[in-house]
Amino acid sequence: MPIPSFDNLDIYFNDWDTVLIGPAESEVSIKAIFDNADGQIFEDRGAPVIVKQPMITAKSSDVEGLAKGHRVSVSGTEYKIKFIEDSGTGISSVFLTKA
């Protein structure tokens, strides 16, 4: 069995969703996985609150140069970037908030 390689990540992204990302004047189309999973935050009294945490997972090279506040459009819904987490493997998680 061949050893998985991260040299060409494009083969892993072929069937992913297409999203528009970046500032309006220079937005680009990239392949990414969109997720809107439940997450927990804790209020001052310690009680957990369940909230939605939209995010995309994409190649790090596709999200280089993006920053907090840049826009992301997924299936016609507008989001803004909260922060980007680079895993060090060539894949990044981009955490979003509704615009």
State pLDDT tens for residues 6-30.
566 766 677 778 888 877 778 889 8
Q: Please list, residue by residue across 26-65, b when 16 or more beta carbons sit within 10 angstroms of its beta carbon and e when fewer do.
A: eeeebbbebeeeeeeeeeeeeeeeeeebbbbbbbbebbee
pLDDT at 7: 64
pLDDT at 46: 73
pTM of the model: 0.77
Pick one of 3.40.1350, 1.10.3720, 2.40.10, 2.60.40 as the CATH number of 10-98. 2.40.10
pLDDT at 27: 82
pLDDT at 69: 92
Positions in the chain short of pLDDT 70: 1-8, 10-12, 43-44
